[in-house]
Structures are given as structure tokens and as C-alpha cells.
Amino acid sequence: MDRDILDFTKSISFDKRLAPYDIEGSIAYAQMLGKCKIISKKEKDLLVKGLRSLKERIGRIPLENNEDIHTAVINLLRKEIGKTADKLHLGRSRNDQVVLDLRLYCKDEVKQVIEKIKKLQRSLWERAKDWRGLTIPFYTHLKNAQFILFAHQFLAYIGMLERDKGRLGDVFKRMDIMPLGSGAGRGSGLPLDRFYLAKKLNFSQVSENSLDSVSDRDFVIEFLSTLAILSMHLSRISEDFILFCSDEFGFIEGDDSHFTGSSILPHKKNPDPLELIRGYTGKMYGNLISVLVMMKGLPLSYNRDMQLDKPPLFDSLDIIKDSLNILEKIVSKLKVNKENLKRASSNEFIFATDIAEFLVTQGYSWQEAHNLTGKLVLESIRKKKPLKEMSDKELKKIIPELTQELILDFLDPLKSVRRIKTYGGSGPESVENQIKHWGKILR
């Protein structure tokens, strides 16, 4: 075999990550071969013992000389127990073996990602609790819309992440299918007990068609897609935080040990880790696309192209786990700048919608209420007189129902949010309920 081509086709540099799963699968396979009398009890015991010993040590053995992880494991086992090792070839092909390894790996990873999401949610929840009394404008079109409780925004993030967990749970179901026994693609002439294998390896189902079993990488793509959406969520949270950290917004501040400072401006802190989390979204999308493209138009069954499903998957998992860790750290020490939040509430016109809503409850039609409030705002601008300085007379000339007292009431952000009544809204009661709800779930 040509040296360069061998190097080009080798997968050991990345699939060595599957080593523990490959051994785990082989142990179960040996046990099944024994149970089905395809090999003797003695052979089975020898195989299992050798594999278990190998599992302990494999992390410390250089594997680079092998073509792939499956060959590496057999070669090492042969060194340990002799040619009985080759009995593992009976009825098994690399085509079904690699799918098994990958499914075992993915199932583990799903659980880890879910745990990390949960940890991040908990930190967000802590902030929501801390800042339940603070108000902040929420933004549409990056313009101030109306006031909300700051907690409400963090609760929104928690909800976004909860959907990610739901998706991961669904992907898990389609990973949880045992492919071994499909051979190269048509099954085997040996009486392999695939249900026994599934039980041993903790799978809830056995695959139903051998050809499909070795051709299917849906679960990889679905995983990558789920992680891409999760990453999009992290990019949005990061964007919000980057904005809120800017000199112009100034609502929040990261910890000194988290944000990159400058030797000149010790207090100047750049939100570098947040920018990287946002930037990594590109890679996450790219990894998804790369496997989708690789699978496009491939005839059944196994094609060597499919070996390339692993690097993007491994990369996306490394990125997302790091990103979740880092974001959790940052959120856990996020500080709020109350002064700047207060300054943000000085824009009287944010409250115009509140006034219009009030007028509607006073019997005005929606259109009238909007028109009248618009007039009031224009008057304030024209006269260069803030609303709160307008006299009862001036107010009533435009809207008879208004008084200065009422206006002062309207211009209070906390009173503004207290008027919210809907389930899931940013009213104090709803926010308290949300906090309680998540408190139970994230316990």
C-alpha cells in the first residue's frame, strides 16, 4: 500500500476517541458469541479478560500506527491473548462495528451536553432571582420597546435552553438502536443473538434492516443540527451580553478574571470569551453542513466518505461543551450596573405605549388611544418640555383623562411592569411563578 494513500485513508488520528466504546462493544460481542456457542466458553473468557485489561490501559498506549481504532484494538488484543483475538471477526464487519461505537459515544455525549446546559440554566436562574427587582428596557429592532423585569430576560434564556434539552432527548431515542449483527450490510450466516447484544450494551432497540444499519448516519446529522441550534442560542445570549457590556449600554459587567483587560486600562474589559462563543456558531453550522453534504447523493450502502462524519461531530462537541462551560462561568459572576439601568429609564417616551394601553381601558378605541398618545408626545417634543413637567392643564388639553400625578405614575418602570397581567408576561407575579417553576425543574 502506498504510504501517502495509507495516511490519507487512516482514521486513527480521530477515531481513537472511540477506543473505550470499541472495547465495550467487543466485550459484549464476545459474550454473545459465547452465549450462542459460536465460540467456546474458554475463548469467550479469554477475550473478555483481555479486552477488560486493555480497556484499563488503552488511554496510555500510542495508537497512531494503526489504520483505525478497530484494527488497533484487535492488534493490541492479539498481542495480549494471541490469535483467539481474531474470533471477534466472526460475523462482524467494520461497517456495523463503527456504527455501534459511534452510537455508544453519542449517547454518552448527549447526556454530558444536557448536564452542562442544566448547569448554565441554573446560573441564569440565579441571576434572574437576584435581579427580579430591577427593570430594563426590552428591545425590538434594537430600539427600546417597553420596560420589563431584568429577570424576565434571563428566564427567556432558560426557556430557550430547555428546548435544546428537549431536542437532545429526542435525538437520543434515534441513537438508542443497536446495529451490531448487520455485518457488512446483509447480516450474517451465524446465529448471532442481536437482542442479547442490545441488552448487554444498554440499547432499547435493535435495528430492523441490516443494509440501512450500515448506511445510516442520520443520528450524527440530527445531533449536529441540534447542537447548531443550541449554538445559535448561545450566540444570541452572547450578543445581548456584548451589547449590555458596551460603553454605551453599560448594563452589566463581567468578572475581571473572565474578560480580557488592557495594560493601560485595567478597568477596560473586553468580552472576548463571549465573542468567541458567538463566533463559534460559524463552525457549528459548518460542521452540520459538512456531514449533510458528505451524505448527499451517496448510494447505499457503506461508502468510505462516511468515515468523515467523525471529525465535524467531535469538533462540534468540543466547542459546545467548552462554550457552555465558559458561558456558565461568566453568568455566575455577572454584575449589574444599577446606575446605568436607571439612566436607561430616563427616556420618557418608552412609556408612551403604557399611556395608550391605559386609554384603551378608559374606553378609547385602539386607534384613538394611539393617536392621542402620539399627539401628547409630539407636544412634549415641540415644547421641549418633558412629560413629567407638563401641567395638568397642558395634559388635559390633549387627553382629558390625564393628570400630572398619573403621568408620574406612568413614568415609573416598576409600576409599568406591574400593570402586566398575562400568563408568561413580565409582570411581577408571572416572573415569580417562572422563577418558582424553573427552581423546581433545575433543582
Residues 371, 394, 409, 428: which binds a second copy (CB under 8 A)? 371
Catalytic residue among 13, 204, 246, 262: 262
DSSP-derived secondary structure for 378-432: HHHHHTT--GGG--HHHHHHH-TT--HHHHHHHT-HHHHHHT--STTSSSHHHHH
Angle between helices 218-245 and 310-332 (to 10 degrees): 30
CB of 396: closest distance to a second copy in angstroms? 19
Q: Is 356 a binder of a second copy (CB under 8 A)?
A: yes
| CB 21, min distance to a second copy, A | 21
Torsion of CA 265, 269, 272, 274, to 10 degrees: -170
Examine residue 318 and tell whether it contacts a second copy (CB under 8 A): no
Please tell me whether residue 99 binds a second copy under the rule CB under 8 A. Answer: no
The nearest distance, CB 56 to a second copy, in angstroms, is 26
Candidate residues 63, 357, 399, 410; the one interacting with a second copy per rule CB under 8 A? 357
Give me the torsion for CA of 289, 295, 297, 299, rounded to 10°.
Answer: 180
Catalytic residue among 141, 257, 263, 267: 141
Least CB distance from residue 440 to a second copy, whole Å? Answer: 13
Interior angle at CA 299, CA 296 and CA 301, nearest 5: 115
Query: In this chain, which stretch among 45-53, 55-63, 103-111, 416-424 interacts with a second copy, using CB under 8 A?
Result: 416-424
262 is catalytic: yes
Residue 107 cell numbers, joined: 449517547
Shortest Å distance, C-beta 204 to a second copy: 14
Contact between 264 and a second copy per CB under 8 A: yes
User: Which residue in the block uniquely carries the three cell numbers 433543582?
Assistant: 443
Considering only the stretches 14-22, 26-34, 45-53, 420-428, report the one whose residues sit in contact with a second copy under the rule CB under 8 A: 420-428
Size of the site for a second copy (CB under 8 A): 168
**Which CB sits closer to a second copy, 86 or 389?**
86
Please count the other Cβ atoms lying within 10 Å of the Cβ belonging to residue 248.
Answer: 6
User: Among all chains, which residue has been given the C-alpha cell 459511534?
Assistant: 102
210 is catalytic: no
Task: Answer yes or no: are the C-beta atoms of 202 and 196 closer than 8 Å.
Answer: no
Nearer to a second copy, 17 or 20 (CB): 17
Is the Cβ of residue 48 or residue 243 nearer to a second copy in the bound state?
243
Cell matching residue 49: 479478560
Q: Mark the segment that binds a second copy (CB under 8 A) among 102-110, 114-122, 176-184, 392-400.
A: 176-184
Phi (first) and psi of residue 192, to 5 degrees: -75, 135
R_g (Cα) of the chain, nearest Å: 30
Rounded Cα–Cα distance for residues 55 and 364 (Å): 76
Triad 65, 66, 67: Cα angle to 5°: 125
Asked if 204 touches a second copy (CB under 8 A), the answer is no
Residues 271-310 that bind a second copy (CB under 8 A): 271-273, 275-276, 278-283, 285-308
Give residues 28-47 in contact with a second copy (rule: CB under 8 A): none
Region from 25-33, 98-106, 343-351, 405-413 binding a second copy, contact rule CB under 8 A: 343-351
- Residue 124 as a binder of a second copy (CB under 8 A): the answer is no
- Among the candidate windows 14-22, 117-125, 213-221, 400-408, which touches a second copy by CB under 8 A? 213-221
Q: How far is the C-alpha of 179 from the C-alpha of 193, rounded, in Å?
A: 12
Please choose, out of 27-35, 58-66, 97-105, 131-139, the segment that lies near a second copy by the rule CB under 8 A. Answer: 131-139
- Please state, in angstroms and rounded to a whole number, the distance separating the CA atoms of residues 85 and 97: 15
Site string for a second copy, 50-89 (x = CB under 8 A): ---------------------------------x--xx-x
**Residue 173 binding a second copy, by CB under 8 A:** yes
Report d(CA 217, CA 303) in Å as an integer: 12
Q: Which of 361, 384, 405, 443 binds a second copy (CB under 8 A)?
A: 361
Residue 381 binds a second copy, judged by CB under 8 A: yes
DSSP 98-125: HHHHHHHHHHHHHHHHHHHHHHHHHHHH
**Residue number, 19 or 156, with CB nearest to a second copy:** 156
The answer to whether residues 96 and 182 touch, using CB atoms and an 8 Å cutoff, is yes
Q: Which three cell numbers stand for residue 331?
A: 453568568
User: Rule CB under 8 A: is residue 314 a binding residue for a second copy?
Assistant: no
Strand stretches in 186-334, DSSP E: 205-206, 252-253
Under the binding rule (CB under 8 A), the answer on residue 120 touching a second copy is: no
Beta carbons of 168 and 141 less than 8 angstroms apart: no
Strand runs (DSSP E) across 76-184, as ranges? 135-140, 143-149, 177-178
Our finding on whether 341 is near a second copy (CB under 8 A) is no
Catalytic annotation, residues: 141, 262
